[in-house]
Amino acid sequence: MTQVTDHGGGVRSLRVPIPDNPLGHTLVYVVDTDRGPVLIDTGWDDPESWDTLADGLAACGTSAAEIHGVVVTHHHPDHHGLSGRVREASGAWIAMHAADTAVVRRTREARPARWFTYMTAKLTAAGAPEEHIAPLRAARPRTLPGLSPALPDRDIVPGELLDLPGRRLRAIWTPGHTPGHVCLHLEETHPAQLPGHGRLFSGDHLLPGITPHIGLYEDPDDTTITDPLGDYLDSLERVGRLAPAEVLPAHQHPFPDAAARVHELLTHHEARLTGLLTLLAEPLTPWQLAERMEWNRPWAQIPYGSRNIAVSEAESHLRRLVKLGRAEAVPGSDPVTYVAV
């Protein structure tokens, strides 16, 4: 049975499952417009997820065939996965920020083996042991999800209102979790008259009880030296200033007081950066740093795929520390090690 929640003011949410993932589900929002319902995110491309989405839309009195458009907060498969099927069923447009559309385009055009080659080189450079890298050398492309994501046909332009007849939904560019992540500010009076400025569809940028993954922007064909954590912290402050009455995130549950949650996350990341400087009293590779960082379980219990994510997160924190002048690479080290300044 699909769980549908009515948030009032022509906004409902559906819990669409993510297979084999501790997050459990993506909250897909159905927003009524004068030209028919518009979805904010769609969920993972999986038969059960599609059936759940279809059942939820039916419970809302509509169907995939009646969807007018799809607004995607970011390109990850638990958000963008079913967008193509919705468009096939309805002819709906799909909108995404250009930075994430570029990632989707490169993903569609690249040979699947390119990803494994990239990850092998990346983890080698990060100091990963051979026993961790070996499975990548023997991996087969069919093991990767999301190799042919739908190509969006509209750009989400930061600061502009989206073309949703009868609604005021403004795009807020919030890079960090991905380079083109967007939040969506519904500039309408809160249906329950909560104090604040409208409602914010926050995607993965602002979640009530967990910190979103901020790793490197993993894109084999983009060699730009980015600072995802710096992007994220800047974006957090911008969202806090919006002061929405309620946040409607893509996971967990809606919550009020965005500014308080933003403050918690800024404090968390500053404390984490300070803690990493203590670890970097001795030179460490990104892999060694990830092994020593505090996670939600001991390193020995972290599964293979999650270790790759952890190393990416360690690297994003290292980039921030280097940019701030608080850490530096040790000249001549191979694999490269970093030390606090």
pLDDT in tens, 245-254: 999 999 999 9
Surface-to-core class of residue 252, CB atoms within 10 Å of its CB (0-12 exposed, 13-18 middle, 19+ buried): middle
DSSP state of 65: G
Conformation bin of residue 16: beta by default, left when phi > 0, alpha when psi is -120 to 50: beta
**pLDDT at residue 111 in the model:** 73
Task: Tally Cβ neighbours within 10 Å of residue 267.
Answer: 10
pLDDT in tens, 92-143: 999 999 999 999 998 888 777 788 888 899 999 999 999 999 988 876 655 4
Output the pTM of the full model. Answer: 0.94
Q: What is the DSSP string of 133-200?
A: HHHHHT--GGG-S-SSPPPPSEEEPTTSBPS-TT--EEEEE--SSSTT-EEEEE-S--TT--SSSSEE
C-alpha distance across the termini of the chain, in Å: 55
CA 237 from centre of chain: 17
pLDDT band at 200; cut points 50, 70, 90? very high
E strand spans, 18-82: 25-31, 38-40, 69-71
pLDDT in tens, 279-305: 999 999 999 999 999 998 999 999 998
pLDDT band at 145; cut points 50, 70, 90? low
pLDDT band at 222; cut points 50, 70, 90? confident
